[in-house]
Amino acid sequence: MARLNQIIAVEKGAKTRSQRELTDIYHALQKPALLSGISRTYRPKDEEGETLPPESTKVQVKAEDALRDAAKALTRLFDVVATKDWANREARADVVVDGRTIVESVPVTYLLFLEKQLTDLHTLVGKLPVLDAAESWSYDEGQDVWRTEAVETARTKKIPRAHVLYEATDKHPAQVETYTEDVIVGTWTKVAFSGALPARRVNELRDRVEKLQSAVKYAREEANAAEAPERHVGEAVFAYLFS
């Protein structure tokens, strides 16, 4: 008795072969000359007349034969696919990660679906934004985001000043030099917030997805190793169609 993975392996070849044979049959049926035959004999008017050899062309393609050939070409394919699909109904396996059963008795068709979805999830996790490692982050429960420690920076303002170089006298006015001075007028307190994730969390999620991917692949292989009793449906189908 074949196993499901063996049936899956031969299915593609069976499809290709039957498609090729059907194409050949179809093309042959489109050539009227192959379906036509003729027989001609010549009889002179009298005994003195010229005699000519008979002419004949045989029928090379018969429609009924073409139907039988089509049935033969497709019967094997019908049986292979039926064997696979019937086996798929019974092929199941548990998805187990680190000894823990995540999902029990999963059909092989669903395992294939799950495998595709996990590939997409792996891509998503790989694109998750990560908190800037140059900052020190803590979780703000109230705002449900990550935040940094408050950092204070001074705000300065340029204030004009005057410096007397020479005092005024009765003969000369005072000489004054003007300049500006940066004076602290306040303090900025900055806190950065982020919706990104710590690198540790992203790595943990990636590891979980990859472990589950491996478990699903293992389960698929196990399910595909199930026995696949042969199913014969093609003969019944074509016995009805072309009888």
| Tens digits of residue pLDDT in 155-187 | 899 998 888 777 878 778 878 888 888 888 899
Q: Which of 222, 241, 206 is nearest to 127 (CA)?
A: 206
Q: What is the mean pLDDT of residues 117-122?
A: 96
Query: What backbone torsions phi and psi does residue 232 show, to the nearest 5 degrees?
Result: -120, 100
Of the pLDDT bands very low, low, confident and very high (cuts 50, 70, 90), residue 125 is: very high
Least confident of 90-94, 192-196, 239-243: 239-243
Instruction: Inform me whether the pLDDT recorded for 49 exceeds 90.
Output: no
Query: So where are the chain's domains?
Result: 1-91+226-243, 150-190
Q: Which of 5, 21, 184, 191 is nearest to 84 (CA)?
A: 5
Q: Which of 103, 123, 128 is nearest to 209 (CA)?
A: 123
The mean predicted confidence, pLDDT, of the chain is 91
Instruction: Inform me whether the pLDDT recorded for 139 exceeds 80.
Output: yes
| Tens digits of residue pLDDT in 12-30 | 999 999 999 999 999 999 9
C-alpha to C-alpha distance for 166 and 151, rounded to whole angstroms: 45
The residues, ordered by sequence, that sit 6+ positions from 53 with a Cβ below 8 Å of its Cβ are: 42
Instruction: Inform me whether the pLDDT recorded for 96 exceeds 80.
Output: yes
C-alpha to C-alpha distance for 193 and 195, rounded to whole angstroms: 7
Q: Which residue did the predictor score with more confidence, 144 or 179? A: 144
Bridge partners of 175, per DSSP, are 166
| DSSP-based three-state secondary structure for 31 | coil
Q: What is the mean pLDDT of residues 101-123?
A: 95
Instruction: Inform me whether the pLDDT recorded for 90 exceeds 90.
Output: no
Query: What backbone torsions phi and psi does residue 124 show, to the nearest 5 degrees?
Result: -60, -50
Q: Which of 37, 45, 40, 70 is nearest to 55 (CA)?
A: 40
CB-CB contact of 168 with 176 (8 Å): no
| Tens digits of residue pLDDT in 209-233 | 999 999 999 999 999 988 888 999 9
The residues, ordered by sequence, that sit 6+ positions from 133 with a Cβ below 8 Å of its Cβ are: 199
- Largest Cα–Cα distance of the chain, in whole Å? 167
CB-CB contact of 5 with 223 (8 Å): no
Identify the pLDDT of residue 70: 93
Alpha helices in the chain (DSSP H): 4-29, 32-35, 63-90, 108-126, 199-224, 234-242
Q: What is the mean pLDDT of residues 73-96?
A: 92
Q: What is the mean pLDDT of residues 60-77?
A: 91
